[in-house]
Chain A
């Protein structure tokens, strides 16, 4: 059995150890470069989660074991060596346990809501028959790089239709094309160019979302009806002061030259307002607000708000209602928003508008509204038209009598950080006599009418129960003093386990997870949108491999220390490599 002995010696050899160390190092290094160029998923799929890496690691474990057995009979001096290697083996075992039994997923909870499931990163494709509410589940193996081809998707049960995966883009950007069709909505392509901004856009008459574009204080619209100049609500050129209290009350005070110096009490509140100055063309000169001319160019009011032990001086500009009226300070103590409305100066969208009026069988007409002025004409292709809004000009360069919107997706590199990037697949649905292609964004549902029967197709991620429920009561974010930079995130949650009658509050924050039934819930992300409840996003993880890794790590470090610094337990010979000498 000499060959068996030789084999054993080979597995116990330092040669194999060094070979493995070097190969693993190179592989890991390559992995980090792949991650940098093609994203983390590519690195996982090509290096870190491959079978060959698993084989290499298994070889390493075998090498460690064999080299330990090779030293039988073990003596005291072997202790350092043995503990070090035992530690590494335990850590590898821990990695194996994690791989086999570890779970990681996301839990996304809106403020005030309760969640009992976690989302795991495995794709799931569901087809739902709208009439019968029958469901079929297909499994989709997601590709790492943008892929096109034709792959039949499998389902566990017989399905009324066949599904083929035609494209799979892990990251893609939606592209829209307007194409001329036989019947469809009229469409025109308009560009608006000025020195401060520019835009170009397709407008589709019959599409509710695509018939108009808002551009800050202006709108561009394609419509059937012309603009109606409405009677201005505000009376007189001196405008109106409006007060909106956070508590709900509001009041309007029309101004006139006589208002200056007078004090008005505000309805439904205990506050009074005294108007100090009304400026027609306010400019800051030598750090003071002065009237530059008597033209109505930049109306502003300076006023004092009084009442309830408070006296605040505000400056309100008609053109800039977003300006904090109390200069440089936190919002008013009176919790009021003050606005000065002067006709022609409020930057509401409807005050400035370009409207294209549809005419059957002819190019549209246009109307440009600027404040209360209105002008119009016939659209000529490729001819720029002055809008009168600063230096903006618009040009219509294409017009289709009938057109339709065609969507497609353009694959982006995996590492793209594009804010509109989505993960998308293209499916081909096939029944006996119909075929249809659809684009399906991950996490969205598409309604597909397919000759007589309607389907909903969903491409999402699998979920699994946590075994308990978590309610998000409050999400809190602190910022660094004087900045918007987040300093800390906290979520106040209620943990609920009705089966065990447990209901308790806990604060989850960075480095302080919620621990329950083997799971840990970590604060990992958040989503804030004004007017919407805050969303807090947690990572839920269960890792039974950790005890092995921790013990292994401690044992290994102790082993190295023994090996390096405790002579009786070490086989190392001090510091004494043979020298190449002369």
Chain B
């Protein structure tokens, strides 16, 4: 079986600094995989390499077996590699319905149409309502995004990504800035993802990581320290020293 997402010897230099060092990862279809690491470990650089914001200095990226190392950002999304952002990236003047609707139109390949009116295709409406319902955004679907409370905006950030119809979903600290009490809604939305969607979760909150992920990769100084199941990682002395140790000693 081909891997949903696979990197081979991925390397990225910034001048003399190696930000991503020889990273080879393999995510099986439907995996719930987490990527953890201390600050400055190169998690953001890795995401940028995967989504095509940065080009790798060497190495390859494969999505469902197809080489996407040099594919454009929009092409990767088209192929099903979708991300969310650590800091909300939304359309402040759009309503959630318009935002999600645009993503659904894009997924259905209708976004290049210059003549139809938006909302004239029932598939777009239905697809949008499905996503909005799942993330509990129906009540606010006609309010401008800028006026929504932060928790709702955070949900929308994930809802837009889901609306793109991902095969592989990169979640960059989805719970960042969300108070403990409201994290449940985000987790519920993620738990309801179809089983064949592969998820790579980048997160600081260990609690969330251990609840969500079956497998965990630990990134330190741009290189993979180890990969294993949640309990293996939690038990590994090196992880305790490098990562968890930071918290207990410092």
- Say whether A associates with B: no
B residues with CB within 8 A of A:
none
